[in-house]
Amino acid sequence: MIRRFDIMLLGADYDLAIENGDFIIGEGLNQQVALLLLAGPGDIRHVPGLGVGLHNYTLDENPADLNRNIRLNFKKDGLRVNKVMQSTTELTIDAEYDNV
């Protein structure tokens, strides 16, 4: 499994994590997954078509639409989705950085 490190973000407002005046660096896979799910198309300036826009699926009756959008956007960002599990209250995604 590939491990990538990134500048970490904190809290619900995703502020930069800073400790002793320095950015905190950590493994960024879970953070990357969360940001891709929350961002909608147009939210990420340098890649305007990237982002799942999870909030748009709250009343969607077809879970396959969300599953397809997750897989498409994660692939665009270099992530391989192994499994997506959805229930009425929970979304679980098993993803990892693609080896390519």
* Token pair listed for 69: 């959008």
Integer Cα distance of 75 and 48 in angstroms:
15
pTM above 0.85, yes or no: yes
pLDDT, tens digit, for every residue of 45-68? Answer: 999 999 999 999 988 888 899 999
Residue 69 φ then ψ, to 5°: -65, -40
pLDDT tens column, 5-28: 999 999 888 899 999 999 999 999
User: Residues 55-62: contacts with CB within 8 Å, 24+ apart?
Assistant: none
At 53, is the secondary structure helix, strand, or coil?
A: coil
